[in-house]
Amino acid sequence: MALTVYDLWKSYQEKLDTEVTLSGWVRTSRTSKSFGFIELNDGTHFKNIQVVFEENLNNFDELTKISLGSSINVNGKLIKSPGEKQPFEISASSIEITGICEPDFPLQKKRHNNEYLRTIAYLRPRTNLFRAVFKVRSLVAFAIHKFFTEKNFVYVHTPIITGSDCEGAGEMFQVTTLDLDKLPRTEDGKIDYSKDFFGKQTNLTVSGQLAVENFCMAFRNVYTFGPTFRAERSNTQRHASEFWMIEPEMAFSDLNDNMDVAEEMVKYLIRYVLENAPEEMEFFNQWVDKGLLERLNFLLNSDFGRVTYTEAMEALIKSGKQFDYKPEWGIDLQTEHERYLTEEVYKRPVFLTNYPKDIKAFYMRMNDDGKTVAAMDLLVPGVGEIIGGSQREERLDMLEKRISEMGLRKEDYWWYLDLRRFGTNKHCGFGLGFERMVMYMTGVENIRDVIPFPRTPKNAEF
């Protein structure tokens, strides 16, 4: 493969005073009457390489006017740089302009705000911020597979299109090939889904959990990691219509095992990115969130808080703080409560456990008190809820009771319920919002800025 900017930063000392060839884009240029500098980047590394050219080049005049964003091929000698800002540079013997960047290129040599860059999402990966974000996103994805593979978990590809309309995690996008102008009807006037592509109504998945639980009963420890879709009109910084989720599921395990794995995973991902993207992390720390590195390093060396819902509620009530929603046992925690707990009381990630049964999903295991279920949420400062999980109800009679209490139909869950008949055992799992993890690690505050082409209500332009 051809030499890259990454290669040179790794091993420039060995290549000093040799001829090199590089391709890349002009990030910025500075010119004088008889010489000029081009900062070259080819996307393989966060840092640029400075190219020096002089008036002996036959296309010197053209080069002095080269526009930001143009692509070039450079031949030259790798030399020690007399300047202090870089250890080496390329003294060009020839520069070929392979693709001029036209003057209406929207990216300028200055900071743009993120809202503007969203309107040109097809160009924003060329900026420092978004190159750093998407590099980190890629590394986190890899680190997830590395973590679970090292722990002997099996990666399961749960379906994107689901025939189960009872995943229970939110509004769904329907998948159909029916002609919407001429919908087939049954005799009683309802839409006849037997004529649809799959012979039944189908949707995009909102969670792989029910499917992954099946595989957990075969492989013990499994995980799924893929896209999920929610058709909710959520207009917030931390919700997207299409996002990725990591969902491990572990047999013969309880809620404490669940929290142990979650905490170990979060720390593993952070450590991996700190070690493998130091330039990008330094950039975030300088330009996005000044306290980022300090906070992440602190987190690596501390234990996450673990408190029950009941204890947390007592802390909220005792705080005497004025909330818009008065804290009271039995209510769901509001965002203001969660923020107060994780940002002001504990000042670090906190697991909240054992929520009242009425505010949680049917599949969560009933505790012995008959009032709470073995659920756990991980709250982190700045982002809020990043993980939601639980120990699953493994007792068939209890599960059926919960299904009917919540007004659901047990026929819809027949194969899920069968797991409780064929070798049931206590098991648990959780869902980690991938983008929320990336937000937490980069300090970027809007989920739309950690997804290459974000989908949110009324927005699917790119």
CB of 331 to RNA, least distance (A): 9
Binding residue count for RNA, defined by CB under 7 A: 74
Strand ranges of the sheet holding 174-175, from the earlier edge strand across to the other edge = 161-162, 202-204, 174-175
Binding residues for RNA restricted to 260-279, rule: CB under 7 A: none
Considering only 21, 47, 56, 111, the residue that binds RNA (CB under 7 A) is 111
Considering only 39, 249, 263, 393, the residue that binds RNA (CB under 7 A) is 39
Q: Is there binding between residue 28 and RNA (CB under 7 A)?
A: yes
Q: Is there binding between residue 12 and RNA (CB under 7 A)?
A: no
Considering only 21, 32, 58, 59, the residue that binds RNA (CB under 7 A) is 32
Closer to RNA by Cβ: residue 175 or 210: 210
Closer to RNA by Cβ: residue 232 or 260: 232
Binding residues for RNA restricted to 377-416, rule: CB under 7 A: 377, 384-388
Q: What is the contact mask toward RNA in residues 162 to 201, using x (rule: CB under 7 A)? A: -------xx-------------------------------
CB of 48 to RNA, least distance (A): 9
- Note whether 85 and 28 are within 8 A (CB): no
Q: Over the chain, what HEC string results? A: CCCCHHHHHHHHHHHCCCEEEEEEEEEEEEECCCEEEEEEECCCCCCCEEEEEECCCCCHHHHHCCCCCCEEEEEEEEEECCCCCCCEEEEEEEEEEEECCCCCCCCCCCCCCHHHHHHCCCCHHHCHHHHHHHHHHHHHHHHHHHHHHHCCCEECCCCCEECCCCCCCCCCCEECCCCCCCCCECCCCCECHHHCCCCCCEEECCCCHHHHHHHHHHHCEEEEEEEEECCCCCCCCCCCCEEEEEEEEEECCCHHHHHHHHHHHHHHHHHHHHHHCHHHHHHHHHHCCCCHHHHHHHHHCCCCEEEEHHHHHHHHHHHCCCCCCCCCCCCCCCHHHHHHHHHHHCCCCEEEEEEEHHHCCCCECECCCCCEEEEEEEEECCCEEEEEEEEECCCHHHHHHHHHHCCCCHHHHHHHHHCCCCCCCCEEEEEEEHHHHHHHHHCCCCHHHCCCCCCECCECCC
Considering only 2, 14, 17, 33, the residue that binds RNA (CB under 7 A) is 33
Distance CA 294, CA 272 (A): 16
Interface segment toward RNA; rule CB under 7 A; list 121-129, 137-145, 174-182, 240-248: 240-248
Q: Is there binding between residue 237 and RNA (CB under 7 A)?
A: yes
Closer to RNA by Cβ: residue 33 or 421: 33
Q: What is the contact mask toward RNA in residues 426 to 455, using x (rule: CB under 7 A)? A: -----xxx-xx--------xxxx-------
Binding residues for RNA restricted to 352-381, rule: CB under 7 A: 377
Interface segment toward RNA; rule CB under 7 A; list 5-13, 82-90, 144-152, 409-417: 82-90
Q: What is the contact mask toward RNA in residues 194 to 233, using x (rule: CB under 7 A)? A: -------------x----------------------x-xx
Q: What is the contact mask toward RNA in residues 280 to 319, using x (rule: CB under 7 A)? A: ----------------------------------------
Binding residues for RNA restricted to 125-144, rule: CB under 7 A: none
Q: Is there binding between residue 91 and RNA (CB under 7 A)?
A: yes
Closer to RNA by Cβ: residue 170 or 226: 170
Both tokens assigned to 202: 């189908």
Considering only 239, 267, 295, 357, the residue that binds RNA (CB under 7 A) is 239
Closer to RNA by Cβ: residue 207 or 285: 207
